[in-house]
Amino acid sequence: MARFFIFTGQAGRFGLVAGLALLAGCMTPPYDDPARQGPFFYPSNHVGEAALPGNIRRIVLLPISGGEIAPASSTTSFDPVMVTALQQQNRFEVVAISRDACRRMFGVDEISSVSALPPNFMAEIAHEYAADAVMFIDVTVFRPYRPLAIGLRAKLATIRDVRLVWTFDNVFSAADPTVANSARHYLLQTSRRDVPTDMSPAVLQSPSNFAAYAADAMFSTLPPVANAPEPAKAP
């Protein structure tokens, strides 16, 4: 038979406070947890101009290309993750091309940043979406089991003069403690504030959540967009 004990007086109050403190400590990461204090991972292998051209107002985001690295089921699930992460940067309007639309326009579901582009690719993108630039993203490494790992290569190219204005190529591996800390920190920052339980370890077990962290880290390296030049006044 279960026994219940009721503590009264000062000792009882101390026991209750101590018990709640212990419970809270189990539910939320302490302030000295590496997910709060680091050290964190900062992607370094990226190149971009000091500021993106001010005339880049709308970009087209192509479907994620997994090639032989990641299965189609995984890359398809990453598509909306990348869209959300890029939109949250608030640098420009993002138009995502679905895999169906990509197949209709170019005969393939995805286009790698290192493959030959379909004929009239830039012209078709400009005509169909009135876009100023196009974003390519490739999965270069994919390990969907612990420790999770994903490699991302991205390129942002202008449409009018067809030149690269930003490139990125990094591998995020949860085997690296700084990456694990950063992934957990990302989930702590984006999770609901009214949920006291520490859910951050889940990011190290879910490929989609881990990809969301990697996408956020990747797009945070995009340069700011310069102010668009004012149109010339008529004489």
How many domains does one find in the chain?
1
Of 2-11, 134-143, 152-161, 162-171, the poorest mean pLDDT is in 2-11
| pLDDT above 90: percentage of residues in the chain | 73
Q: Is residue 235 very low, low, confident or very high in pLDDT (cuts 50, 70, 90)?
A: low
CATH number of the domain to which 131 belongs: 3.40.50.10610
Q: CA gyration radius for the chain?
A: 23
Mean pLDDT of 100-115: 96
3-state secondary structure the chain: CCCCCCCCHHHHHHHHHHHHHHHHHHHCCCCCCHHHHCCCCCCCCEEECCCECCCCCEEEECCCECCCCCCHHHHHHHHHHHHHHHHCCCCCEEEECCHHHHHHHHCCCCCCCCCCCCCCHHHHHHHHHCCCEEEEEEEEEEECCCCCEEEEEEEEEECCCCCEEEEEEEEEECCCHHHHHHHHHHHHHHCCCCCCCCCHHHHHCCHHHHHHHHHHHHHCCCCCECCCCCCCCCC
Q: Is residue 7 part of a domain?
A: no
- Mean pLDDT over 177-203 rounds to 83
Question: What is the distance of C-alpha 24 from the center of its chain?
Answer: 30
Q: Per-residue confidence at 15, pLDDT binned at 50, 70, 90?
A: very low
Residue 193 in any domain: the answer is: yes
Average pLDDT over residues 170-189: 96
Domain presence at residue 16: no
Name the average pLDDT for the chain. 86
Q: Check residue 196 and give its pLDDT.
A: 58
Span 163-184, mean pLDDT? 97
Q: Is residue 173 part of a domain?
A: yes
The pLDDT, as a whole number, for residue 65 is 98
Is pLDDT of 122 > 50? yes
d(C-alpha 172, C-alpha 10), whole Å: 52
pLDDT of 197 over the 70 cut: no
Query: Which range marks the domain in which residue 80 is found?
Result: 48-219
Write down the pTM of the prediction: 0.82
Q: Is residue 229 situated within a structural domain? A: no
**Which region, left, alpha or beta, applies to residue 23 given φ > 0 means left and ψ of -120 to 50 means alpha?**
alpha
Among 126, 139, 160, 153, residue whose Cα is nearest residue 207: 139
Residue 82's pLDDT is what?
97
pLDDT of residue 80: 97
Banded model confidence at residue 200, pLDDT cuts 50, 70, 90: confident
pLDDT score for 215: 98
Domain assignment of residue 185, yes or no: yes
